[in-house]
A and B are shown apart, each in its own frame.
Chain A
């Protein structure tokens, strides 16, 4: 008993000593936090793949101020409680720069901890306006806001001159937020809104909703929410011969909607960040992803790449590894990244970020609509 206890003590102290030794070398730790498991893990994959590539390439070019970047990955399952645990672990692990989180509901509580502990955070995916509304000094993003996305969708809808529009949402922060933004912009433009209604996230039966849409005689449906619900609505609508146009935010724009809706996903309209991977200047980067057998086309791959790059550029610009100096440098400088020229406002949002309307196809591909 005592010998095994001794062994344990020795083992623990050795590993503690080793951990200490690891920190002693002058690497810069970049924490990457997002869902590796759970219902939205496919978005997390995009984030990790983009960030890993950026770290690899920056190190290959000599690192930052002569030091190497080291990526440390954490799984928050897109769960607010788990996100707080992850944030505390980062604090203990001595991480001072975070790429993440993915879901707005995770980013929000985690960012409280980062701000308090002096950790710089750049989220490549969270679009909720509230995240940057709290006057935090160390919170940035490389993605647009819901309040930008709603009007883009509404402008497109208005340009199609629909007679009657229905707006459906999933009653969650993200879905209802976007749906409300769309409704308000449409009202300003004088488009008639025949229906504004919530469904329960996780519900499966939308036959009553479909019947109602049919009777309301709408010719355009906007859905605020994620793909599992919209996929089923599309499928059940097509089976009931409801033949209107459907539109949704970037939360519906991934290939899983095709496995649920099948043919019914053809012609769905989605507002997404522009396909950065199709830009001419990113050709080499796209090739680097393809050489590794990874897909750079997801909406959050290159935003994550840009987030890592901004940390590196910020450190170089500030000539300091203190997150507050880096944050000041990010606010005052102009940076060239794969997602375009980045300039930050006081809140930590990009001064310009556009959303584009795409038409989704039943094979999972998409084409821009003009």
Chain B
């Protein structure tokens, strides 16, 4: 009985982290799907989202606002606005001028952007870890068995629910809306879409904005869940989310979701049953294994190879 509880608890831990990874992974996968480049500055966009949310929360609390839902919504909106603007600006400044060149050039430009943003936050916010105030406390407890009892915190529920809403909205957006249809068209063939009158520049900007907005949501959620932010916050998360995107099949949105969840669960199971030290070994080992047998990832389409 206790083993089962322990397993379920680790599963919950893993799914929580995994769904946040999935939110970030969407940004990588959508950009790759449309222009075939890897936006290495995406992790930094997520980090900036977390910082913005923290600044907004601190500001609102200082103003004496106490109603939690309002604080969270305002923080979320601020984070989305700042991150989206940043995502849009990064594309305009660093990627658009080099689009269509050799594929290494945008990649180097992206790495440069990532270093720039990281150091900018270092200078602007200092390099110390800054704590997030504890806003959502408590949770459900069940299955107490002697000393071990399983818990599902309200924070974890918030992460699941928010992720679920974001994913549903995104899927509807991509499959139903006019812009969504244009996105799909551009991802199939950029040149042809442009010939048919789709403003491809606008669609590419929209992709960056959507990805950045989801990263900002993840920034707020994970910032609150973990409890602190620092300028390197985005680097590791970005790497994990990128892995999740590749694992699920880069370019595929359901793949990013699946990849995120698998990665999260494999991490928590490894730390739970083996040792925390092997967490990254197992995650990246899994990535190599999957790529060996399915080079396009779990849900990736076999034809991709563009440019």
Q: Which residues of A contact B (CB under 8 A)?
A: 37-39, 41-42, 171, 197-200, 202-205, 207-209, 211-212, 214-215, 217, 227-228, 231-232, 235-236, 239-241, 256, 258-263
Q: Which of B6, B155, B227 contacts A260 (CB 8 A)?
A: B227
With A and B bound together, what is the CA distance between A241 and B139 in angstroms? 10
Q: Is B192 part of the binding interface, using a Cβ–Cβ cutoff of 8 Å?
A: no
Contacts of B226 on A, CB cut-off 8 Å?
A: 204-205, 232, 236
Given contacts A207-B13, A256-B128, contact A198 B227 (CB under 8 A): no
Contact status B6-A211, CB under 8 Å: yes
From residue A43, how far is it (CB to closest CB) to chain B in Å?
11
Contact status A207-B227, CB under 8 Å: no
Contact status B230-A228, CB under 8 Å: yes
Contact status B233-A204, CB under 8 Å: yes
Given contacts A202-B232, A205-B17, A217-B147, contact A235 B227 (CB under 8 A): yes
Could you tell me how many residues of chain B have their Cβ less than 8 Å away from some Cβ of chain A?
A: 42
Contact status A198-B277, CB under 8 Å: yes
Q: Which of B131, B151, B276 contacts A240 (CB 8 A)?
A: B151
8 pairs of A and B residues whose beta carbons are closest in the complex: A208-B271, A204-B226, A260-B131, A207-B13, A259-B131, A208-B268, A235-B227, A198-B277
Contacts of A211 on B, CB cut-off 8 Å?
A: 6, 9-10, 13, 272
Q: Which of B2, B17, B130, B275 contacts A207 (CB 8 A)?
A: B17
Contacts of A37 on B, CB cut-off 8 Å?
A: 127
Contact status B276-A209, CB under 8 Å: yes
Residues of B205-235 at the interface with A, using a CB-CB cut-off of 8 Å, are 222, 225-228, 230, 232-233
Contacts of B237 on A, CB cut-off 8 Å?
A: 204
With A and B bound together, what is the CA distance between A261 and B276 in angstroms? 21
With A and B bound together, what is the CA distance between A211 and B150 in angstroms? 9
Q: Which of B17, B134, B267, B279 contacts A262 (CB 8 A)?
A: B134
From residue B2, how far is it (CB to closest CB) to chain A in Å?
7
Q: Is B16 part of the binding interface, using a Cβ–Cβ cutoff of 8 Å?
A: yes
With A and B bound together, what is the CA distance between A241 and B147 in angstroms? 11
Contact status A260-B228, CB under 8 Å: yes
Contacts of B277 on A, CB cut-off 8 Å?
A: 171, 197-200
With A and B bound together, what is the CA distance between A217 and B146 in angstroms? 10
Contact status B131-A261, CB under 8 Å: yes
Contacts of A198 on B, CB cut-off 8 Å?
A: 275-277
Residues of B124-179 at the interface with A, using a CB-CB cut-off of 8 Å, are 127-131, 133-134, 137, 141, 147-149, 151, 153, 155
Contact status B6-A215, CB under 8 Å: yes
Instruction: Fill in one digit per residue for B265-307: 1 if any A CB lies within 8 Å of its CB, else 0.
Output: 0011001100111011000000000000000000000000000
With A and B bound together, what is the CA distance between A261 and B131 in angstroms? 7
Interface centre among A171, A204, A240, A258 (most CB of B within 10 A): A204
With A and B bound together, what is the CA distance between A12 and B272 in angstroms? 64
Given contacts A200-B279, A236-B227, contact A207 B129 (CB under 8 A): no
Q: Is B236 part of the binding interface, using a Cβ–Cβ cutoff of 8 Å?
A: yes
- Which residue of A is nearest B222, CB measured? A204
Contacts of A205 on B, CB cut-off 8 Å?
A: 13, 17, 225-226, 267
Contact status B228-A208, CB under 8 Å: no
Contact status A203-B9, CB under 8 Å: no
Contact status B128-A197, CB under 8 Å: no
With A and B bound together, what is the CA distance between A221 and B133 in angstroms? 24
Contact status B13-A231, CB under 8 Å: no
Contact status B271-A212, CB under 8 Å: yes
Contact status A39-B228, CB under 8 Å: no
- Which residue of A is nearest B139, CB measured? A239
From residue A231, how far is it (CB to closest CB) to chain B in Å?
7
Contact status A228-B228, CB under 8 Å: yes
Contacts of B2 on A, CB cut-off 8 Å?
A: 215
Contact status B275-A197, CB under 8 Å: yes
With A and B bound together, what is the CA distance between A41 and B122 in angstroms? 13
Contact status A262-B133, CB under 8 Å: yes
From residue B114, how far is it (CB to closest CB) to chain A in Å?
16
Q: Which of A38, A200, A207, A215 contacts B280 (CB 8 A)?
A: A200
Instruction: Fill in one digit per residue for B1-14: 1 if any A CB lies within 8 Å of its CB, else 0.
Output: 01000100110011
Contact status B276-A259, CB under 8 Å: no
- Which residue of B is nearest A204, CB measured? B226
From residue A282, how far is it (CB to closest CB) to chain B in Å?
29
Contacts of B236 on A, CB cut-off 8 Å?
A: 202-204
Contact status B276-A199, CB under 8 Å: yes
Contact status A200-B129, CB under 8 Å: no
